[in-house]
Chain A
Amino acid sequence: MTWTQNNLDLIVELTLNHVRLSVIPIVVSFLLAIPLGWLATRNSALRTLVITGGSLLYTIPSLPLFVILPLVIPTRVLDETNLIVALIIYGVALMSRSAADGFASVERPTLDASTAVGFSPAARFFRVELPLAGPVLLAGIRVVSVSTIALVSVGIIIGSANLGTLFLNGKQRGILEEVVVGIVLSLLVALVFDIIIVRLGRLLMPWTRKDGPVVVTR
């Protein structure tokens, strides 16, 4: 444990940086995927575009993407923005499919009834469609969360300092402890994110809780 004790400051700094680099793409891709997923349920051409487009984007290997991005957006090769934008692209690619599935999972009769009792289109979206798509959106963002936290490590090749630094540095210098710390902390970050997302889901969607007595009487 000597390496860990001697490098606590570095470990904390890298962990916080890893968290910061993960949170932005997770939140942004969630917000971007919602309108895309909603559009996908409007007509089948848009659905094909969103689903196929998403799958195609996700197949781009991360390394070339990091290299191509500075050519497409006005950033320098070693800019952190490249990493964040790349992670957002992967996040949206994954999440837009979940969002499309989520909105498609909302039952037609419920939507029809909402319209019939007088929900305006905007009220129907925010108060009926979005919350009812919630469970599928939640499942999707959990996948995006794990995937993003894993991919952040790859960012070390374009100069980003995060928990991935520990794998690479530990490997190059032959410090096994450093590698193990990097892996364990990455797993911990992913676990904590997942717990937070699930808790948030339970808080925002109390109707999905299976606890509480379900009593059916006539």
Chain B
Amino acid sequence: MIEFRSVSKEFPDGTVAVEDFTFMLPSHKTTVLVGSSGCGKTTLLRMVNRMVEPTSGQVLIDDVDVATRDKVELRRSIGYVLQASGLLPHWRVVDNVATVPLLEGTPAAQAREEALVLMDKVGLDRSLANRYPRQLSGGQQQRVGVARALASDPNILLMDEPFGAVDPIVRADLQVELNRLQRELGKTIVFVTHDIDEAFILADQVVIFRKGGVIAQAGTPAEIMADPADEFVASFVGADKGKRDLRLQRRADDGGRTVVVDKDGRPIGVLSEHEDGQGAGART
């Protein structure tokens, strides 16, 4: 559990990134912080591993104030995935994955062996182990970044727009993979993005920000889609332009299936025959 208690951050140049922010992030769930650039979401994320120190207020992990913990030890205990992967260009893939165990003094052979297992886990072929990061595609580099973050088996994963720099097809792959991994691992994930669709795909809980780290709305994707708190949220999720308005169209000619269409009548999927326990799902 990560808890923000009346956290504020004013940078030396006078910019107030976050003001009096209080919020709780549940364990073993994915919380996605979403908002336009400059809304303070990355600042909040970086407070968790003390890359940014709050001007006032506290950040607690399982009721322990992070300010009381040694920075280096704290950072090694938390997985961190960055936008540009942040890999060390002079280390081979396998050593990049093994970074934290190597820093902790794990024997190199053992650390590398474990790194290979992690590579399997994130869907990286072992033949890439001896490459340098520049010899990988953007998508592969991000997988290495995720594997590195998992290497110390942290409870918490911080992900700062990790899929922002890869093309849409690879991004979709990575999102599916992350959801698969999360079902298996059950980490406490804090994920920052400016892409509301990405937030809805990944999140158990979505937090939508206005400027200055002010929460516009927090809730499950379904809650936010069904009931946007105000016009800002409605416009942010695209509800105001009817992007989220879907209708059902019964196709008597095509075996009586029901098609889901958007507000312009363009079909986007077929209504599934089965109930999945959470209501009828659209199959696209």
What is the distance, in angstroms, from A124's C-beta to the closest C-beta of chain B?
10
When A117-B99, A117-B100, A117-B148 are in contact, do A112 and B86 touch as well, CB less than 8 Å? yes
Tell whether, in the assembled complex, residue A120 and residue B72 are in contact, meaning their CB atoms are under 8 Å apart: yes
Tell whether, in the assembled complex, residue B89 and residue A207 are in contact, meaning their CB atoms are under 8 Å apart: yes
Query: Residues 146-183 of chain B: 1 if any A CB is under 8 Å from the residue's CB, otherwise 0?
Result: 00110000000000000000000010000000000000
What is the distance, in angstroms, from B48's C-beta to the closest C-beta of chain A?
11
Q: Which of A106-138 contact B (CB under 8 A)?
A: 109-110, 112-120, 123, 128, 131-132, 134
When A117-B148, A118-B103, A120-B72 are in contact, do A218 and B140 touch as well, CB less than 8 Å? yes
What is the distance, in angstroms, from B273's C-beta to the closest C-beta of chain A?
35
Tell whether, in the assembled complex, residue B88 and residue A215 are in contact, meaning their CB atoms are under 8 Å apart: no
Tell whether, in the assembled complex, residue B72 and residue A118 are in contact, meaning their CB atoms are under 8 Å apart: yes
Nearest-CB residue, chain B, relative to A209: B132
Q: Which of A65-109 contact B (CB under 8 A)?
A: 109
When A116-B82, A117-B100, A120-B72 are in contact, do A132 and B139 touch as well, CB less than 8 Å? no
A192 at interface by CB-CB < 8 Å = no
A214 at interface by CB-CB < 8 Å = yes
Tell whether, in the assembled complex, residue A131 and residue B100 are in contact, meaning their CB atoms are under 8 Å apart: no
When A109-B86, A132-B89 are in contact, do A215 and B135 touch as well, CB less than 8 Å? yes
Other-chain contact of B84, A109, A115, A216 (Cβ < 8 Å): A109
Tell whether, in the assembled complex, residue A109 and residue B90 are in contact, meaning their CB atoms are under 8 Å apart: no
Residues of B within 8 A of A131 (CB): 90
Tell whether, in the assembled complex, residue A216 and residue B100 are in contact, meaning their CB atoms are under 8 Å apart: no
Q: Which of B92-151 contact A (CB under 8 A)?
A: 99-100, 103, 132, 134-137, 139-140, 148-149
What is the distance, in angstroms, from B99's C-beta to the closest C-beta of chain A?
6
Tell whether, in the assembled complex, residue A128 and residue B135 are in contact, meaning their CB atoms are under 8 Å apart: no
Tell whether, in the assembled complex, residue B75 and residue A115 are in contact, meaning their CB atoms are under 8 Å apart: yes
* Bound CA span A118–B70, Å: 11
Other-chain contact of A109, B75, B82, B148, B170 (Cβ < 8 Å): B82
A2 at interface by CB-CB < 8 Å = no
Tell whether, in the assembled complex, residue B75 and residue A123 are in contact, meaning their CB atoms are under 8 Å apart: no
Tell whether, in the assembled complex, residue B137 and residue A110 are in contact, meaning their CB atoms are under 8 Å apart: no
B9 at interface by CB-CB < 8 Å = no
A157 at interface by CB-CB < 8 Å = no
Other-chain contact of B137, A112, A117, A132, A217 (Cβ < 8 Å): A217
* Bound CA span A117–B76, Å: 6
What is the distance, in angstroms, from A129's C-beta to the closest C-beta of chain B?
11
What is the distance, in angstroms, from B171's C-beta to the closest C-beta of chain A?
13
B-side interface residues, number (CB < 8 Å): 29
Tell whether, in the assembled complex, residue A216 and residue B136 are in contact, meaning their CB atoms are under 8 Å apart: yes
Tell whether, in the assembled complex, residue A116 and residue B89 are in contact, meaning their CB atoms are under 8 Å apart: no
Residues of A within 8 A of B222 (CB): none
* Bound CA span A215–B125, Å: 13
* Bound CA span A218–B124, Å: 10
A205 at interface by CB-CB < 8 Å = yes
Residues of A within 8 A of B99 (CB): 117-118
* Bound CA span A207–B92, Å: 8
B49 at interface by CB-CB < 8 Å = yes
B51 at interface by CB-CB < 8 Å = yes
* Bound CA span A110–B99, Å: 13
Other-chain contact of A218, B49, B134, B137 (Cβ < 8 Å): B137
Residues of A within 8 A of B49 (CB): 116
Residues of A within 8 A of B80 (CB): 113, 116-117
Nearest-CB residue, chain B, relative to A208: B90
* Bound CA span A119–B99, Å: 9
Tell whether, in the assembled complex, residue A205 and residue B100 are in contact, meaning their CB atoms are under 8 Å apart: no
Nearest-CB residue, chain A, relative to B96: A117
Query: Residues 62-97 of chain B: 1 if any A CB is under 8 Å from the residue's CB, otherwise 0?
Result: 000000000011011000101010111111000000
Residues of A within 8 A of B87 (CB): 113
Return 12 A-B CB contacts under 8 Å, by A number: A110-B88, A113-B82, A116-B82, A117-B100, A117-B148, A119-B72, A119-B103, A128-B88, A205-B90, A214-B134, A216-B136, A217-B140
Query: CB within 8 Å of A: which residues of B?
Result: 46, 49, 51, 72-73, 75-76, 80, 82, 84, 86-91, 99-100, 103, 132, 134-137, 139-140, 148-149, 170
Query: CB within 8 Å of B: which residues of A?
Result: 109-110, 112-120, 123, 128, 131-132, 134, 205, 207, 214-218
9 residue pairs, one from A and one from B, having the closest CB atoms: A113-B86, A118-B76, A118-B75, A207-B90, A116-B80, A120-B72, A207-B132, A218-B137, A214-B135
